[in-house]
């Protein structure tokens, strides 16, 4: 347990950020799963658009690295385009 006041604050801040990021990552995983398990190409494309918004927001907030988001979006787009 930290003794310095700033270190105590940093622990609390990190915990809050961790909980926030956990929610974002969970929503992303669900959105990605919905794209991959879509019945047809049309529903997959609709789910992809929803997932794309969440992914872009995660990249903007730096929850995920922007290059990782680009890679995920690229791989997802191949699922319904082929």
Provide the CATH number for the domain around residue 64: 1.20.58.110
Kindly state the tokens that stand for 37: 């398990």
Single pTM value for the model: 0.83
DSSP 63: S
- 81 has a pLDDT exceeding 80: no
Which residue segment(s) compose the domain that 11 sits in? 5-81
Kindly state the tokens that stand for 42: 């049309």
User: What whole-number distance in Å separates Cα of residue 23 and Cα of residue 19?
Assistant: 7
Domain count, the chain: 1
Q: What pLDDT, on the 0 to 100 scale, is given for residue 82?
A: 62
In percent, how much of the chain has pLDDT > 90?
88
- 80 has a pLDDT exceeding 90: no
Burial (CB count <10 Å: 0-12, 13-18, 19+), residue 42: exposed
What's the chain's Rg over C-alpha atoms? 17
């Amino acid at each position: 347990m930290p003794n310095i006041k700033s270190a105590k604050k940093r622990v609390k801040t990190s915990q809050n950020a961790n909980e926030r990021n956990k929610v974002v990552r969970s929503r992303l995983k669900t959105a990605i799963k919905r794209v991959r398990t879509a019945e047809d190409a049309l529903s997959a494309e609709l789910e992809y658009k929803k997932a794309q918004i969440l992914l872009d927001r995660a990249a903007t907030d730096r929850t995920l690295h922007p290059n990782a988001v680009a890679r995920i979006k690229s791989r997802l787009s191949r699922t319904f385009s082929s």
